[in-house]
Structure 1
């Protein structure tokens, strides 16, 4: 790739959690958000939006994001107590996470 046409070359993303030297997996979320913000900025600066959107689709970004929410939904539902398998608050949270995952997948079907 011709470096004169590069908008940005990312070599590292440092999050507050990384600076604090923690091993929490949640520290990856700010890095993922930062990468998407860089793509947003690139489009605003004139990058070919079609190629960026196609790259997001090819990378199955929606499936990765929806997969995180599906896993979170399953983790929430695992919290259901055998004494009360119909706990409304837990089921609502699990259903909301699962529904959000479905909406993310649906949004990419339009592209």
Structure 2
């Protein structure tokens, strides 16, 4: 399954970035959808000692024509609720990421 990166600085990678996995159809949607706001369901591949609340940008890939700016991160799922960020999260747990999008090639 494809990965996307949650970045703490727009257009700059750093050691504090968080890689998460998305389903194939979610990745395709991120690459092609023209919607100004998207809700992304992502999953952790490994335990993370601290998932922060201050990620600002979703990096999809060099060839993605959209900038995805994070407006909200919702940790947990129907089975694990009430998680407040920053928090420790385990492999397989879910993040819902709400982003606003703008084209980078105009």
TM-score normalised by structure 2 residue count: 0.21
Task: For CA contacts below 8 A with separation 6 or more, give which structure has more relative contact order.
Answer: 2
Q: Which has the larger radius of gyration?
A: 1
Structure with the largest fraction of helix: 1
Structure with the largest fraction of strand: 2
TM-score normalised by structure 1 residue count: 0.21
